[in-house]
A = this chain, B = another copy of it.
């Protein structure tokens, strides 16, 4: 099996690279990329510790960077790839951005938005479970290190 250049797996692999940067910096390892017309227009990883700012989640930083890139706050032709199920805050931001698609890797049963219902925009398509094991493994590695 070859990995398609424009598959969800391809872009999730890029989000995972971002998540690994977070892990290296002792941040909760979540990464995100925003894709439009097959091009990655924004990349970000969680920086809540570094920036001492609870709003500095990977998704928030990526959405802001994508909007800056496009000069448009609406991201209706964009897909957000993120390694872990977004929280309520990030789902809310995705709603306002009116994203075309949200694709996440690992579920997050405790802090993920889905337990509160569908908080995404009605027009936003959702795909889940893309490279979920790899995405979850990074989180497990982080919390295992923390417990030591």
Contact = CB atoms under 8 A, between A and B. Distances in A.
A67 B54 contact: yes
Q: How often does this chain occur in the complex, in copies? A: 2
Q: Interface size class for chain A? A: 20 to 34
Interface in A108-124: 116-117, 119
B96 A54 contact: yes
A60 B67 contact: no
Contacts of A63: 53-55
A55 B55 CA distance: 9
Contacts of A119: 88, 116
Interface stretch (A3-11, A68-76, A132-140): A68-76
Contacts of A48: 73, 96
A52 interface: yes
Contact of A92 (B52, B53, B72, B89): B89
A64 interface: yes
Contact of A55 (B51, B60, B87, B91): B60
Contacts of A92: 87-92
A-B pairs, 5 with minimum CB distance: A89-B92, A88-B92, A54-B96, A52-B73, A54-B73
